[in-house]
Structure 1
Amino acid sequence: MKPGDKLLKEINKKYTPSTTIPLKFGRYDMVVKTNDEGYAILLFIGKADEDGIIKGNRFTRVLIKDSNGNTIKDHWDHKGKI
């Protein structure tokens, strides 16, 4: 399983650095954690319960850049159910 193009377009935006951001995507609830540059590196997507805990899937991002800031590797890995 991998994120679709519409979802990738939403989560590949630049956000506030080093934060956790709750989002909605269609009928799904999401939580995105960002790195110190503001790129999403962790994604939880599914349905949130009354405490805000997401029941669904977890994805992590492999984002490797060279010393000039050029992207060498950028992809999302499905890490399983949560």
Structure 2
Amino acid sequence: MALNKKIELHLQKIFAPNARLDEKLLGKDVTFVTNEFGEPETLFIGKRQPDGAINGERYVRRIIRKPNSNELLKSHWELKGKVSRS
């Protein structure tokens, strides 16, 4: 399943480096982890459990940078599968 375009647009922003952020977007619970540049690179989306874990799906962002630079050349989100905790 492709990532919702509105969520993808939100995740193009720069956030705090090396952080874990918990949000609610489009009625779904979202947790994402940023890299050293503040770019989201791991995403969990679904329903948050009382312990903070999310039952839903996990996405990983593939980032390609310009050679010898930190400038973003392109990126895309890949669905890695379901995540759940009982």
Global fold match (TM > 0.5) = yes
Distance in 2, matches of 1:26 and 1:37, equals 26
TM-score in terms of structure 2 length: 0.88
**CA distance in 2 between partners of 1:69 and 1:19 (Å):** 19
Shift of 1:2: 1.4
Q: TM-score w.r.t. structure 1 length?
A: 0.92
Determine what percentage of the aligned residue pairs are the same residue: 33
Structural mapping, 1:1-82, within 5 Å: 1-66=1-66, 67-82=68-83
Q: What is the alpha-carbon distance in structure 2 between the residues aligned to residue 5 and residue 31 of structure 1?
A: 17
Name the stretch that deviates more: 21-30 or 39-48: 21-30
Q: Secondary structure at the match of 2:79?
A: strand
Indicate the SS of the match to 2:75. strand
Distance apart, 1:49 and its partner CA: 1.0
5+ residue gaps, structure 1: none
Gaps of 5+ in 2: none
What is the CA RMSD across the aligned residues, in angstroms?
1.1
Rounded to whole Å, the distance in 2 between the matches of 1:26 and 1:74 is 22
Moved over 6 A (4+): none
Distance apart, 1:47 and its partner CA: 0.2
The letter of the residue matching 2:28 is: Y
Distance between the aligned counterparts of 1:68 and 1:39, measured in 2?
15
| Deviation, structure 1 residue 72 | 3.2
